[in-house]
Amino acid sequence: MHDGECGQNAACRVQEIGRDKGSRVSFQALRLQRSYWDAATGAFIQTFVASDSGGLTNPDGILFGKDGNLYVANSGNGAPEVLRYNGQTGAFLGAFVSPGNGALGFTDMVWGPNGNLFVSDFRAHNVKEYNGTTGAFVSVFASTNLQFPQNLLFGPDGNLYVADEINVVEFNGSTGAFMRIVVPLGSGGLQEPEGLAFGLNGNLLVGDATGQAVLEYDSTTGAFIAAFIPSGLGGLGEPHALVFRNGNLFIPVTNGNDVLEYNGTTGAFIGDFVSAGSGGLVSPTSLVFSPLATPEPSTLTLLASGLVGAIGSTRFIRFHRTRRLMR
């Protein structure tokens, strides 16, 4: 997400959207507040995490832990940290990862196969590892050939894949050793890789923020296959997150202020799952589902910039970060 995108004059909030029974979706927003949307219709319901709760000022990556709580990468006016909130009530529980250890600007987060938390540090040009129980710093896990690390994904092979805004890079999932550039800039017309997901057929899908498309690559060779979702299909803008749910692909569109749904097998456009601006949604960029059951099981949680959040199984949205603003 852009530095200062959620600065002193902008509140940040998390919103929620309703969807499947026993699930919720979370998006990240400039105004961090968490709100609800109807699970069946996507209609906005209410706020879940209030703006500035726990010092939340510039949220980016968000995910749920095995403890059922919500973790938010916060890089506000101070040093980056990871904040933790009660997954049922939205109450602030404290800082899970405290500032320090060379952290400059957190973006995405992912739980690793070893149970630890891996965080991409956009401004420090590396991926950091933290103890999954205590939040203590473990090491700089990966840095080779990383310039602007954003989305992180552990593949079915156990390795870590990083969308670097230039290339998609693969690292050994146990040691962090550089393995290869899986998808180089320009392959298949790739201009700015951000969103990452493995498709239902096992191929690697890459969201191209500048090309406004989702491109498909052979996960073994890295060879370009096709545009899984062509540029602009269904109003697709900047696909910063790719999330599969019940066989379909959900994409928060940063410059469209909405969340789009596509057929997970064919890439065909299904419809606007969350309409533009619903509940005040602005610039959503990341999304994650939680298996957590909540008091309102038919809703989802949504975190998005300028948005209000949701409860149920969750998805998360985060803001776009561009290397041009970070230089």
Beta bridge partners of 63: 71
pLDDT of residue 164: 93
Q: How far is Cα 119 from Cα 138, in angstroms, rounded to an integer?
A: 11
Q: Residue 93 and residue 74: Cα distance in Å, rounded?
A: 14
Q: Does the pLDDT at position 23 exceed 50?
A: no
Domains in the chain: ranges and CATH: 14-326 (2.120.10.30)
Kindly report, residue by residue over 215-225, the tens digit of the pLDDT: 999 999 999 99
pTM: 0.84
Please give the average per-residue pLDDT across 281-310, as a whole number: 51
The lowest-confidence range among 26-35, 154-163, 247-256 is 26-35
Task: Say which range, 42-46, 109-113, 121-125, 170-174, has the weakest mean pLDDT.
Answer: 42-46
What does the alpha-carbon distance between residue 92 and residue 299 come to, in Å, rounded to a whole number? Answer: 21
What pLDDT score does 42 carry? 58
Helix (H, G, I), strand (E, B) or coil at 233: helix
Categorize the per-residue pLDDT at 288 as very low, low, confident or very high, splitting at 50, 70 and 90.
Answer: low
Window from 10-19, 145-154, 157-166, 256-265 with minimum mean pLDDT: 10-19
Tell me the mean pLDDT in the region 38-42: 52
pLDDT on residue 48: 66
What token pair was written down for 37?
């949307």
Q: Distance between CA atoms of 242 and 279, rounded to whole angstroms?
A: 22
Q: Across the beta sheet with 243-245, what order do the strands follow?
A: 243-245, 248-253, 258-263, 269-274
> What was the pLDDT predicted at 192?
95
Q: Could you tell me which residue, 233 or 8, shows the higher pLDDT?
A: 233
Nearest to 307 by CA among 254, 269, 243, 235: 254
The pLDDT value recorded for residue 117 is 98
Segment holding 326, helix H or strand E: helix 323-326
Q: How far apart are CA 7 and CA 13, in angstroms?
A: 12
Which pLDDT tens digit goes with each residue over 61-112?
888 899 989 898 888 667 899 999 988 888 899 999 998 888 999 989 999 9
What amino acid occupies position 125? H
**Arithmetic mean of pLDDT over the chain:** 79
pLDDT of 324 reads 33
For 133-168, give one letter per residue: b (16+ CB within 10 A) or e: eebebbebbbbebbebbbbbbbbeeebbbbbbbbbb
Which pLDDT score is estimated for 22? 41
Candidate from 9-13, 37-41, 126-130, 268-272 with smallest mean pLDDT: 9-13
**Order of strands, sheet of 70-74, starting from the edge strand that comes earlier in the sequence:** 59-64, 70-74, 81-85, 92-97
Strands 92-97 and 313-314: unpaired
Residue 117 CA to its chain's centroid (Å): 14
